Amino acid sequence: MVVLLMVLGLALAFLVTCSALLRWNEVRYRKTSLPPGTMGWPVFGETTEFLKQGPSFMKNKRLRHGSLFKSHILGCPTVVCMDPELNRFILMNEGKGFIPGYPQSMLDVLGRSNIAAVHGSLHKIMRSVMLGLVSPPLIRDQLLPKIDEFMRSYIDDWNGRVIDIQEKTKEMALMSALKQIASIETGPVSKGLRTEIFKLVLGTLSLPINIPGTNYYRGLQARKKVVSMLHEIIEQRRISRCSYNDILDHLLKIDHSSKVKLDDEQIIDLMIALIYSGYETVSTTSMMAVKYIHDHPRVLDELRNEHLKIRNEKSCKDAVDWNNYKSMTFTRAVILETLRMATVVNGVLRKTTQDMEMKGFTIPKGWRIYVYTREINYDPFIYPEPLTFNPWRWQESNLDSHQHFMLFGGGSRMCPGKELGTAEIATFLHYFVTRYRWEEVGGDKILKFPRVQAPNGLHIRFARTLQFRSSQVSISEASVRTRGAAGTESLVSGKPRGADPPHNADFTSTVPSRANRSPFLLSTPLLKDELDIDLDFLEMWRPLIQPFHLIIVQDGAPSKTIKMPEGFDYEL
C-alpha cells in the first residue's frame, strides 16, 4: 500500500512538474506584441512535433493562429511566416534587419565561414567567389565535360540489376561533386569522405545536444575528419603545383593572386558548402525525377524523345556539350516540376538584428523567422491543379520569373549553384533515359519532411535499351531479325517507340503462327543514324519465339551478329 501511494505520488508530482514547465515556458514568451502561438517545452520546444508532423504541423498551426505564428523549434524561439508577400519582403531585404538564422547545429557542423551563415561584406566576398567558381563559362568549358565523363561511366553497369536508386543518386551526387571540386576519383579518399559526409549531413538538422549517440555529436565528429582530409588535400596540391583544372585550383589561385583573400578555414568551409548543397539537392531531385517520370509514361516519352534527338546527332562516344544542355528545354521543365512537387527545400531561416514590425506584431531582436515557402509550391492560383505532375506548365508560361518563384531561394541568397546543379541532373537524365528502361520493385514509400527520402529505399530493376548505328555495320538497306527454333521467316506489323524519333520506320507483313513458332523479321529503311530497339515491342511476341539474338542483315546476308545483353535473354 505504501509503495502504491509512493508511485501515485511520484506520478502526480511528475504531471504537476510537466504542467508547470509548460506553463512557465508559455508565460516566459507571453508578450502582447508577439504573434499568437505556443512554445512547447523549455529547451526542446516543439521540435519533435515539427520534425515528425512537418506540413501537418504547419497547417494546423496556421488554422489555429494564422499565417504568422510563434513557436520554439530547433533550439530557438521562432516566428513562422507562411504569408507569400511577407516571405518575399523578408528575402529581398537582407541587411535591413534580417540576417541568416540557420540552426545552431547547421552552423556548427557546416562551419562558421559557411556561405549560408556569413553576412555583410564577408558574404559579398564569398558569394562573389562562389559565383565565379560555378559561372556558365566555367560550367561550359571545364565542369560539364567532367560531369559528362562521370555520369556516362557511373551508370554504365546497371543493366540487369536491381538497384536502390536513392542510395545510388546519393553516391552519384557526392562523387560528382568531389570530382568537380578536387578531382577526387573513386578510391580510399573518396570512400572516407563519403562515409563522413553522410554523417555530417544528418547532423545539420538536429537538436544541438553534444552527447555521444546523437546525430549532432556524430555530425561534429564527422566535420573534424572531413576538415582534416580536405586540409591534407590542399597541402598536397600546394606541394605538387600540378594543374587539375578544378574548383580547388581556382580557390588556391584566388588565395595567391587575387585581391580577395581567403584563409584555409574559409576555403575548406566553402568546399564543404559546395559538397553539402550539391549533394542534398542533386541527389534528392534526381531520385524524385526518376520516380515521377516512371509514374507518368507520357512525360517519360517526351523526355526520352528530347534526349534521343540529341543522341541521334552524335556518335556513341560523343559527350553532351553546352549547346546540347541548353537545348534540353523539356528536361529543365521536368527538373523544375520535380523541385516543386517534391519540395526539396521547405524554407529558409532568418534572424532579426533589431525589433521588427510585421503585420502589426513585433518580432524581438535575436529571434529566428522561418520563411516557410513549401505552401507556395501548391498554390492553385500560381500552379493550376497543383498536385498534378505537369512539366508542360513551365513551357507554357514563364513561371520561373514569377515574383513568388522561390525554388532556388530569393534575394541576395539565391542559390549560386542552381545552373551547375541543373546541368548535373540533366546530364544524368540524358544517359539514364537513353540507356535504360526500368520498373520499380518492392516498396515505394516516400517521406517529404524534414527531408525527402524513401525510408525503405526505392528499388528499381534495370534493362538496357539496345542502340546501334549504321556506321558500325555499313548497310544501305537494313533489317533487324530475331532467329528462333524454326527455319522460316515472317514479317511483323508494328512500330517501335524508339523509331520515331529518330526514325519513321513502319513495319508491315504477317504475324508468325504459334504452330510453327517461326521467328520474325523487322524491316526498316536506311539506318541513317541510331536505331533504338524497343524491347517492350519484342516482348509482345515472346510467346511465339524461342530465346533469341539479333542479326543485322545487308542484302539478305548477315553482316554482324549482336548477342542480347544480360537481362534480355527471354526464357519461354
Residues in the annotated binding site for heme:
415
- Among residues 202, 159, 194, the alpha carbon closest in space to that of 173 is found at 194
SS3 content of the chain, % helix, strand, coil (to 5): 50, 15, 35
- Buried b / exposed e over 423-443, threshold 16 CB at 10 Å, is bbbbbbbbbbbbbbbbeeeee
Q: How many CB atoms lie within 10 A of CB 522?
A: 26
- Cβ-based neighbours of 279, under 8 Å, separated by 6 or more: 170, 173, 174, 177, 197, 201
CA distance 109 to 104: 9
Among the listed residues 279, 274, 271, the one whose alpha carbon sits nearest the alpha carbon of residue 202: 279
Task: Look at the alpha carbons of 399, 404, 407, 413 in this order and tell me if their dihedral is positive or negative.
Answer: positive
Q: Which residues fall in the annotated binding site?
A: 415
- Rounded to 5 degrees, φ, ψ at 386 are -65, -20
d(Cα 572, Cα 547) in Å, to the nearest integer?
7
- For residues 323 and 330, give the distance between their C-alpha atoms in angstroms, rounded to a whole number: 14
208, three cell numbers: 544541438
- How far apart are alpha carbons 364 and 355 in whole angstroms? 5
What's CA 172's distance to the chain center, in Å? 10
- Cα distance between residue 446 and residue 468, in whole Å: 37
